[in-house]
Amino acid sequence: MTNHLDRTDRTLLRLLQAEGRLSHAELAARVHLSPSAVLRRVQRLEASGVIVGYAARLDAQALGLGLAAFVRVQLAAHSHAAIDQFARVLAQAEEVVACHALTGEMDYLLEVRVADLEHFSRFLLDRLLNDAGVADVNSSFVLRTVKSAPGLPLHEP
């Protein structure tokens, strides 16, 4: 689909990533199209799977989730059952805001958001190391965030 996106589609996507609450009329004014033309384009982008949903971005600090960590995980076993068990544990762990399967020495990289070090310790000891079939973890705590992009890069073809 990305090779079928024209400049207007990319502009609409940039605007929606930055300001997801813009009305179709506001979007139309910014891209110099009619609201009905913008509505058709947005519906096409949704139907094709380019736009997968809408969400509010929340401030972790304001919600009392002041500690961010990246946790590299190595599983004890790599069978389908072990991977499924790990996935089940993570699906129920609201502290994990992202999980990526990796190449290299470790199997997964988790992004974890918790209130404090005590909360992180409970998550790590009670859930991750106890139930998920994990052999090894290596944690790094975020000192400060230098960049956190609100969306994906949308380069011109």
Residue 147 domain-assigned (yes or no): no
Task: Give 72-104 pLDDT, tens digit per residue.
Answer: 999 999 999 999 999 999 999 999 999 999 999
CATH number at residue 115: 3.30.70.920
With cut-offs at 50, 70 and 90, classify the pLDDT of residue 156. confident
pTM of this structure: 0.85
Contacting residues for 141 by C-beta, under 8 A, at least 6 apart: 67, 68, 69
Average pLDDT of every residue of the chain = 93
| Residue 136 dihedral angles phi and psi, to the nearest 5° | -155, 145
Locate 135 and state its tokens: 């052999």
The pLDDT of 56-65, averaged and rounded, is 94
Q: What percent of the chain is predicted at pLDDT more than 90?
A: 88
Confidence at residue 157, expressed as pLDDT on a 0 to 100 scale: 63
- Do 28 and 86 lie in one domain? The reply is no
Give domain status of residue 150, yes or no.
no
How many C-beta neighbours within 10 Å does residue 113 have? 19
